[in-house]
Structure 1
């Protein structure tokens, strides 16, 4: 299979880091799931068109003005279906492996759904399709961790640590998009309509309440519907970074995909440019808030 240029593997650059182009602020944005460079050793057996449903396609582009507001912007180039940076290094289903893992594993609820560190299936219209017709070797999973997962975490941690060391704290935005059929995937038949944005702070534990309120109120002012922690609360990254009692505030932002793209073709729709402009304005609001917090 010949892949389009944007899907070509990039093993030399598993993560992109864009430094601030304006006066630096303790503001870090990361997009762990928008990568579209599919590694040559993936070995999946599903069509690429189906596999791409796992992408948070275009998210890093929607937020591309973050550096102009003083933020560091980090994005994975590899797809989450290959290995997911927003999962624990040990969140592996041992049933996927062809051998014994050399140490303890801690598979969680997402892993039981086939969506752990290494995805076992892809979902469309409530149907889960296996990604592989084989078990993965321990060596290839270890290679994915070493060559993709760890470099991403190292780059993000460096940006967080740099902000803390320089400014005494950090505000972190963990950027995602969500499929329109998420409630169906979760088996929830009496769920409310899916909001345009879902903000997750793990039930008030990863950032100051005023930070999530600021972002939610700003988005509502643009005309979007906003929910908090429903149905996404945030996972590995904000759970590890968010320590508001230490001045480290971390918030997950999910955007409903049809707001900006066609879920089948992955192409931007008419909402893409207006959304990008609104996110630029939101970043300006966040940057102003962060500056005010530094001088308070």
Structure 2
């Protein structure tokens, strides 16, 4: 299986799923059990949106796991303590961004959400560079290509960065451990990656379907919405987090009956976005 799928669409809407990958490369050489690693996945997110390509939506999906390389982080978010030598590239210095690296959640994860170490060894610099070349660069190129194509064809683009989150935040996952999450979290980095009117429409649509919705808390959006959004040019990007309790058993990873009703709600949101021109908002 390829490490990335990009299905070009014909509409102004782009969806991407950077964390639902389940193809664990042979060179991962992780020390913890696979079942422990799997808790890092945005499990089944790609299934929740599998209707989208048929509607003309651009779709980008990572098949490599988030714990191997997190495509929603910048290449500067490097935990240099993991490496067996000096990192030759730039390293992030922003304290806000570094807080995630300190949690073990940089570009290359050091620990699971529960604080379990992923490795019992130092990682080679060349090893990480290879992951960037094989995973990060192609994924970001596909997202950029999809957004550019949507914008060129329609004069605007709406990008939804698709994620899932645990029902309750784990000890090493966020700055808010133990917090019970809403059904959805809509993030636009405090109105900097999408128009607030568009984000508000997404929130209100989901609330009208009976869901609890939080806005920019505890997830504001990270690298993929930051990098490819320019709202002033009608390039809008929103991170959408779905509570896993709505569609799966978090212990067994099995889909639950709630997945079908959730998928119907997501389809209604996608159909609403396909009819939305943010230039008129």
TM-score w.r.t. length of structure 1: 0.89
Deviates more, 1:148-157 or 1:158-167: 158-167
Find the partner of 1:279 among 266, 274, 278. 266
Q: 1:90 to 1:188 in 2, by over 3 A?
A: closer
The answer to whether 1:75 aligns with 2:61 is yes
1:167 CA displacement: 2.1
Equivalence for 2:113: 123
SS at match of 2:271: helix
4+ residue runs over 3 A deviation: 183-191, 293-296
User: Would the aligned equivalents of 1:18 and 1:73 in 2 still touch at CA under 8 Å?
Assistant: yes
Is 1:244 the counterpart of 2:231 in the alignment?
A: yes
The match for 2:275 is: 288
The alpha-carbon distance between structure 1 residues 226 and 94, as it changes in their structure 2 partners (threshold 3 A), is: same
Structure 2: 5+ residue stretches without partners: none
What SS does the aligned partner of 2:164 have?
A: strand
Aligned ranges for residues 41-60 of structure 1 at < 5 Å?
Answer: 41-60=27-46
| Shift in CA distance, 46/27, structure 1 to aligned 2, threshold 3 Å | same
Report the CA distance between 1:30 and its aligned residue: 0.3
Gaps of 5+ in 1: 1-9
Q: Give per-residue Cα distances to partners, 1:148-167, cap 9 Å, x unaligned.
A: 11110111111111122222
Q: Residues 213 and 183 from structure 1, CA distance in 2 versus in 1: closer, same or farther, beyond 3 angstroms?
A: farther
Higher mean alpha-carbon deviation, 195-204 vs 207-216, is at 207-216
- 1:181 corresponds, among 144, 165, 168, to 168
Query: Is the Cα–Cα contact under 8 Å of residues 234 and 279 in structure 2 kept in the other structure?
Result: no
Give the aligned length: 276
- The separation in 1 between residues aligned to 2:212 and 2:265, in whole angstroms, is 14
CA RMSD of aligned residues (A): 1.8
Give how far 1:133 is off. 0.2
Query: Could you report, residue by residue, the CA deviation over 1:85-116 in whole angstroms, capped at 9, with x for unpaired residues?
Result: 00001211111000111232116221111000
Aligned to 1:15: 4
Matching residue within 224, 230, 233 for 2:211: 224
* Change over 3 Å in CA distance of 1:46–1:184 after alignment to 2: closer
Q: Distance in 1 between matches of 2:133 and 2:89?
A: 16
How is 1:156-167 mapped onto 2 (pairs within 5 angstroms)? 156-167=143-154
Shift of 1:26: 1.3
Residue matched to 2:192: 205
Provide closer, same or farther for how the CA distance between residues 121 and 212 of structure 1 changes in structure 2, counting only shifts above 3 A.
same
2:229–2:237: 8 Å Cα contact kept in structure 1? yes
Matches within 5 A, 1:24-39: 24-39=10-25
In structure 2, the partner of 1:144 is 131
Structure 1 residue 202 displacement after superposition: 0.3
| 1:61 equivalent among 27, 47, 50 | 47
Aligned to 1:112: 102
Q: Deviations over 1:215-249 (max 9, x none)?
A: 11111111110000010000001111121111111
SS, match of residue 123 in structure 1: coil
TM-score, L = length of structure 2: 0.93
Query: Is contact 1:33-1:76 (8 Å) kept?
Result: yes
> Whole-Å Cα distance in 1 between the matches of residues 44 and 15 of structure 2?
14
Instruction: Please tell me whether residue 259 in structure 1 is matched to residue 249 in structure 2.
Output: no
| CA spacing shift, 1:189–1:77, aligned 2, 3 Å | closer
